[in-house]
Structure 1
Amino acid sequence: MPASIPFGVDLGNNSSVIAVARNRGIDIVVNEVSSRSTPSVVGFGRKNRAIGESGENQRNSNLKNTIANLKRLLSLSTKSPDYDVEKKYATYNLVDKDGFAAAKVRFQGKEKEFTSTELVAMYLNKLRAVTEKETEAHVSDICLAVPVWYTEQQRRAAADACLIANLNPVRIVNDVTAAAVGYSVFKTNLPEDKSKNVAFIDIGHSSYTCSIAAIKKGEMKIIGTAFDKNFGGRDFDRAITEHLADEFKGKYHIDIRSNAKAYSRVMRASEKVKKILSANTSAPVNIESVMNDIDAQSTLSREELEELVKPLLERVDAPVKEALEIAGLKIEDIDSIELIGGCTRVPALKTKLAEIFGKALSFTLNQDEAVAKGAAFICAMHSPTMRVKPFKFEDINRYSVTYSWDKGDEDTDHLEVFPKGGAYPSTKMITLYRSADFEINAKYTNAEDLPEGVSQDVATWKITGVEIPEGEDSAICKIKVRQDPSGFYTIQAAYIVHEKEFKELVEKPEEDDKKEDDKKDDGKKGDDDKEGDEKEEAEPEYRIVKKLVKVKDLDVEYSGHALSKDALQESLDQEFKMVADDKLVAETEDKKNALEEYIYELRAKLDEEYKDFASDSEKEALKKKLSDAENWLYEDGYDTIKAKYIAKYEELASTGNLIKARYQQKQEELRQKLQAKKERRAQKAMAEQLARQAEAAKKAEAKKAKKDAKKDSDGDVPMN
């Protein structure tokens, strides 16, 4: 298979966008229906899964088994208020599994529960398959763009989902940061000295983020970020739906709130109305058979929509103010405001943001594709086979993290290593004096800063292999702690150092003065100077110095929010089996369709093209076989195994192909006769053309001879 290509995914709550980096640039990958975005849904059926476009197509008919809002569900604690929010939007059975949101569905005839990590993995695996089919290239590395408000636990879950999907997560990046990277890399007129302050506003399907970046040529740093997790396109859709629910109740005496399918239909219609009102001042609402076979109609104006979402619009300025405060900037310090995310097309939002910043908004980036393109570029930065522009970028830490240990003989038992607002990736060193193996814990420093339901624990590491050097009471242990590019808190290395003595050359301080004097006396040396130079140089002097030298690496065992090896392998095996099942179902359906098509095609041809190539008895027998096969196909064979469809097809083809072969043989004979006839005509035409050319040449030669004779006759002069 060809070499792997860098793969960037903007994991959207409503739909996701895929981008790949190639030598000529970054391309958006279209899916199986040539769409540049893929619905973020996973559906479960009687035999197989329907993911992406196929899942969206059967969503209304399979609401209870179609999972949406995957980004919001990922590692969502059931103690979080967001869990109750998601229940309002869930048409499926959202359940608690080990303290986290999971989906309970009916799949392959059984009730099953899938964790949010497994669901996201299924979706990413589908995106990988779409990309490999479209690009005809292998995909292994991924840069996954996730919301800025994801905690360590959610980011770890995102990485685990990639691994279950057989992808290597080279980076988990904040979505707005990815867009800012794309902006910074491809913007041609950036300053080289003083940074330009750019505010990136991302309002998508379910959330709103404001990130402020300091950008200059070849470098970008996020200096402030804030968000509203429950402000997005779906909140606008719900406001319209609730308005229509009240209207339909009075107008048609139906309560769509009591019927999940009816409410879902109106929500989808509301989304279309919202989009129409972004370009028009009013929009019609027409929903066929919304409930109880009633067709519902209404209209909505842009002014009415703005009144419905007034409570939302009043919250627009909060993330901007908080991001500016974190960045230490004022509104007037912002040089540009870049808008991304589908919901930023709503005119009321654009007007409100322009009022807040007091200047024109910019739409340099593609609102739907900027994040995916930035993620693909970041993935390319990690690729050993891809050459990209040198670029450095840093993100901002949302929460402070403290590392702690047993105090022992230390002065303290903890240290705030990565403060809130600090930049990452970042590496720090901790020195501990230990006499035995030990543990280090990482926790969020301030529990009150965390969203409700988020665990304060980050991770625990067991450090083993401690050996005390001879003559010492304890070992000097150096611990390299790191917040890596994905935002994960890790211990990158741990080792023992020991103090050792070394001989070090002592440099004489007068050497510099002598050099200066030599410059002054240059060209003025006499014989006495030469004699001085020839004197024997002094012996070099050494001193004994003590230095810390690494003498042994320590073993580090991680225990945190990432899946254990056994749990990860179990999920991998489950996904592999489901992929195989899906493939088998698809192949079985293909064989069934092929059989059905062959029955109808052969029956029609027996009375048309093939009628002269089979005896009456052959046709009668074959028609009976076709009729029997058709009856079987819609009765006992309606739902059977792949092998039976193949066997039935081959049974019909054993006779049908004989007749087809006679027909094709006759057609080949006719084709050869026609070809021979064409060749004879061509030869005859060529002979006639050659004859005409010869006749023309003969006439031309006679004419020339006559002309020459006349010329000779006219040239004779009579003699007197």
Structure 2
Amino acid sequence: MSVPFGFDFGNNNSVIAVARNRGIDIVVNEVSNRSTPTLVGFGMKNRAIGESAKNQQNSNIKNTVGNLKRILGKNFTDNDVQIESKYFTSPLIDLNGKVGTKVRFLGKQTEFSATQLAAMYLNKIKQTTAKEVKGIIKDICVAVPVWYTEQQRRALADAAIIAGLNPVRIVNELTAAAVGYGVFKQNDLPEDKPKTVAFIDIGHSSYSVSIVAIKRGELKVLGSASDKHFGGRDFDIAITEHLADEFKSKHKFDIRTNPKAYNRVIQASEKLKKVLSANSEAPISIESLMNDVDVRSHLKREELESLVQPLLEKVPAPVLAACEAAGIKPTDVDTIEVIGGTTRVPAIKAKLIEIFGKKLSFTLNQDEAIARGAAFICAIHSPTLRVRPFKFEDYNPYSITYFWEEDQEDVDHMEVFGKGASYPSAKLITLYRSKDFQIGAKYTNVKELPKGTPEILAKWNIKGVELEEGAESISCRLKLRLDPSGLVSVDKAYTVVEKLVKEEVINPDAKEDDEPVFKEVKKLVKKNDLVITGEFLALPDQLRSELIEHENSMVMEDKLVADTEERKNALEEYIYDLRGKLEDIYAPFASQEEKDKLSDMLLKTEDWLYDEGYDTTKARYIAKYEELASIGNLIRGRYLAKQEEERQSSKSKQEAKRAQELAEKIAAERKSKNDNDGDVNMTEELD
């Protein structure tokens, strides 16, 4: 039975939440953190993903890849890719038109697509979740930015499938947060007239706003807007550039020429930014940054706000755009719910208060609200969990037009799902056709999209059109759909024909004994279903299967490396443990010959472990361990036997002592009773 879980796919850190019968829980990773770094690293033997990638990032910076969220599903020619390239320490490359990266893995240069990198990370997330919940992990709901295009959503779905997951829904991040708000705060919501809530999320790399009409049991997203290039990392870069200039002037070196040094300053700048969110000034200190020079500096909050003033001027635009899309003014909003780590910056809070003219609300967990909402949405789709009924409609950010070849119609296209339309949604259209045909979907306004975004979303071949005898065409009805994940589809296609059918004429004055009266009327009735085959922006089935196989083989290799390292550590630990005990608690239980032989074996194995055996196979570590254990376990067995003997002896003595104490107690009670009886008899005689 699969445990449904929600995933907040963050650019810097990601959060996992699982839905259980008692509620929504956040999943902690292997080091008990509630969020996991969105990083994938590559080494000489294996991959390092999440926390392990973060730990080795500085020492392996050219082979550690982050910012996966920003390049997933992107063409290499996209403007966004060129902008993002400055945030990557591994080179971005063109892989058959899509963006990928080149790293050194297993001792050779290897290329991976963004979809493969996302799949690797999702596989790690799946393993972490399965270990935590001790159950099967299959169904996932992933939260993504509202500006994700069809191609990006398809790429994410492909990545999930490669990782062995079933993406039941891809939901907009703020919609997920709004669902969590609506479900867990139902008692605070009105039942009739909806409450207008602005949800604002400023994270590591982007800034989004959604205006939502919400009441008990349902919500509708009225408008959304985003700034894809505004987030916490921009603040970190501003601080880093300021410090780079300072260090260049003071220490005569430029950290911009050294990726490792620059990355260390970015990490220190991020911590400095967080400290300045709660304090008026903060120091910064980094040991051996470059040329074995230790650096120190400090920054005041006013200085930081001066550095990021160009960024602060961009804060109003998404709010105003979202309100305009919703048809309201910022002052019309009832509540402003704020999430995302960057919203902790005081200058941003002050700017938002100025825009809305009212206080901000922080009732949602700023780091976990999206994951919790996504987990609830995944639970809605689960057949094994019962959840509160909650209806919600998402916001379509890009207008979508369906097109076809002209035949009997005067037009060859139609805008079916407009910008700002709610989804999931379905529309029924009718085309008159004389033969099999093709229909496609595309973005209506290419100028609204980032340069390089594919215009065509999908094409479908419709087959099985059969004409009536003597007819020149037939009516074909198609159900067009924008599904819950925001993906286009043609759900159904069938032909209808006009036929004469008999219908009873309803006569209100008729008596019970009157014969029913029928008349013939012309009606459109379904003739037959048509066959639909589609071409999407997703990976071809064969390529996806190959990538699944490749990912599974890398998982097995990673497991083998981890198991080998575990066996190596176990052998090393056994050597030191056995040597210490042989000279201590095991000493009385081993002959001198055994001690000499075992000590010699321990010394030789230790020398082998740090020389020839430093990098060998799992089987050899096991063999060396068992060789030592063949003698060590004999001595240990004697020691444990003696311990058990002493334990039993001690137990027998304690039982004998308790029996003796009980007997003495009984004897004392009898003596006391006899003495009391004697006193009574003496009293009777005197009377």
State the TM-score bracket (shorter-chain normalisation): over 0.9
Tell me which residue corresponds to 1:476: 475
Residue type of the partner of 1:314? E
Confirm or deny that 1:67 pairs with 2:41.
Answer: no
CA distance in 2, matches of 1:80, 1:559: 22
Residue type of the partner of 1:477? C
- Aligned residue runs from structure 1 range 301-450, under 5 A: 301-450=300-449
Q: CA deviation at 1:407?
A: 0.7
Tell me which residue corresponds to 1:608: 584
Between 471-480 and 350-359, report the one with greater CA deviation: 471-480
Evaluate the alpha carbon distance shift between residue 102 and residue 709 of structure 1 in structure 2; reply closer, same or farther with a 3 A threshold.
farther
Q: Deviations over 1:250-293 (max 9, x none)?
A: 11111100000000000000000000000000000011111111
Q: CA deviation at 1:498?
A: 2.4
Q: Deviations over 1:437-469 (max 9, x none)?
A: 211111111111211111111111111222223
- Aligned residue runs from structure 1 range 160-309, under 5 A: 160-187=158-185, 188-309=187-308
Confirm or deny that 1:560 pairs with 2:536.
Answer: yes
Tell me which residue corresponds to 1:704: 680
Work out which of the residue numbers 601, 614, 628 in structure 2 matches 1:625.
Answer: 601
Identity over aligned pairs, percent: 60
Tell me which residue corresponds to 2:124: 126
CA distance in 2, matches of 1:462, 1:704: 114
Residue type of the partner of 1:691? A
Confirm or deny that 1:573 pairs with 2:573.
Answer: no
Residue type of the partner of 2:391? K
Residue type of the partner of 1:285? I
Residue type of the partner of 1:654? S
CA distance in 2, matches of 1:300, 1:704: 95
Confirm or deny that 1:26 pairs with 2:24.
Answer: yes
Residue type of the partner of 1:262? A
Q: CA deviation at 1:510?
A: 4.6
Confirm or deny that 1:647 pairs with 2:638.
Answer: no
CA distance in 2, matches of 1:451, 1:390: 37
CA distance in 1, matches of 2:495, 2:685: 118
Secondary structure at the residue paired with 2:252? coil
| 8 Å Cα contact 2:180-2:369 kept in structure 1 | yes
| 8 Å Cα contact 2:319-2:330 kept in structure 1 | no
Secondary structure at the residue paired with 2:586? coil
Tell me which residue corresponds to 1:522: none
Evaluate the alpha carbon distance shift between residue 169 and residue 709 of structure 1 in structure 2; reply closer, same or farther with a 3 A threshold.
farther
Between 687-696 and 601-610, report the one with greater CA deviation: 687-696
Residue type of the partner of 1:599? I
Structure 2 alignment gaps of length 5 or more: none
CA distance in 1, matches of 2:40, 2:684: 94
Q: Deviations over 1:661-695 (max 9, x none)?
A: 12222222222222222222122122222222222
| 8 Å Cα contact 2:74-2:151 kept in structure 1 | no
CA distance in 1, matches of 2:298, 2:348: 21
CA distance in 2, matches of 1:697, 1:37: 72
Structure of higher CA gyration radius: 1
Q: CA deviation at 1:332?
A: 2.2
Tell me which residue corresponds to 2:654: 678
Q: Deviations over 1:339-386 (max 9, x none)?
A: 000000000000000001111111111111110011011111111111
Structure 1 alignment gaps of length 5 or more: 512-532, 714-720
Tell me which residue corresponds to 2:52: 54
Q: Deviations over 1:219-262 (max 9, x none)?
A: 11111111100100000000000000000011111110000000
- Aligned residue runs from structure 1 range 95-110, under 5 A: 95-110=93-108
Confirm or deny that 1:657 pairs with 2:657.
Answer: no
Aligned residues: 686
Residue type of the partner of 2:502? K
Residue type of the partner of 2:18? V
Q: Deviations over 1:86-129 (max 9, x none)?
A: 21111112212122221211111221111111111111111111
Residue type of the partner of 2:166? N
Secondary structure at the residue paired with 2:222? strand
Evaluate the alpha carbon distance shift between residue 268 and residue 543 of structure 1 in structure 2; reply closer, same or farther with a 3 A threshold.
same
CA distance in 2, matches of 1:586, 1:267: 31
CA distance in 2, matches of 1:220, 1:463: 36
CA distance in 1, matches of 2:147, 2:649: 76
Secondary structure at the residue paired with 1:476? strand
Tell me which residue corresponds to 1:525: none
Secondary structure at the residue paired with 2:501? strand
CA distance in 2, matches of 1:309, 1:80: 27
Tell me which residue corresponds to 2:453: 454
Tell me which residue corresponds to 2:7: 9
Secondary structure at the residue paired with 1:267? helix
Q: CA deviation at 1:700?
A: 2.4
Q: CA deviation at 1:432?
A: 1.5
Work out which of the residue numbers 136, 151, 154 in structure 1 matches 2:152.
Answer: 154
Evaluate the alpha carbon distance shift between residue 537 and residue 287 of structure 1 in structure 2; reply closer, same or farther with a 3 A threshold.
same
Work out which of the residue numbers 80, 88, 91 in structure 2 matches 1:90.
Answer: 88
CA distance in 1, matches of 2:75, 2:60: 26
CA distance in 2, matches of 1:388, 1:472: 52
Residue type of the partner of 1:584? L
Q: Deviations over 1:458-489 (max 9, x none)?
A: 11111122222334222321111100010000
When the two structures are superposed, what TM-score results if normalisation uses the length of structure 2? 0.98
Secondary structure at the residue paired with 1:575? helix
Residue type of the partner of 2:610? Y
When the two structures are superposed, what TM-score results if normalisation uses the length of structure 1? 0.94
Secondary structure at the residue paired with 2:589? coil
CA distance in 1, matches of 2:679, 2:342: 87
- Aligned residue runs from structure 1 range 454-533, under 5 A: 454-508=453-507, 510=509
Q: CA deviation at 1:57?
A: 0.8
Q: CA deviation at 1:537?
A: 3.3
Residue type of the partner of 2:346? P
Between 290-299 and 72-81, report the one with greater CA deviation: 72-81
Residue type of the partner of 1:438? F
Q: CA deviation at 1:543?
A: 0.8
Q: CA deviation at 1:411?
A: 2.1
| 8 Å Cα contact 2:80-2:450 kept in structure 1 | no
Secondary structure at the residue paired with 1:355? helix
Secondary structure at the residue paired with 2:588? coil
CA distance in 2, matches of 1:14, 1:261: 18
Work out which of the residue numbers 666, 669, 685 in structure 2 matches 1:690.
Answer: 666
Between 548-557 and 475-484, report the one with greater CA deviation: 548-557
Tell me which residue corresponds to 1:589: 565
Secondary structure at the residue paired with 1:638? helix
CA distance in 2, matches of 1:414, 1:296: 63
Q: Deviations over 1:590-647 (max 9, x none)?
A: 1111111111111111111111111111111111111111111111111111111111
Residue type of the partner of 1:45? G
RMSD in angstroms over aligned alpha carbons? 1.3
Secondary structure at the residue paired with 1:30? coil
Q: CA deviation at 1:201?
A: 0.8
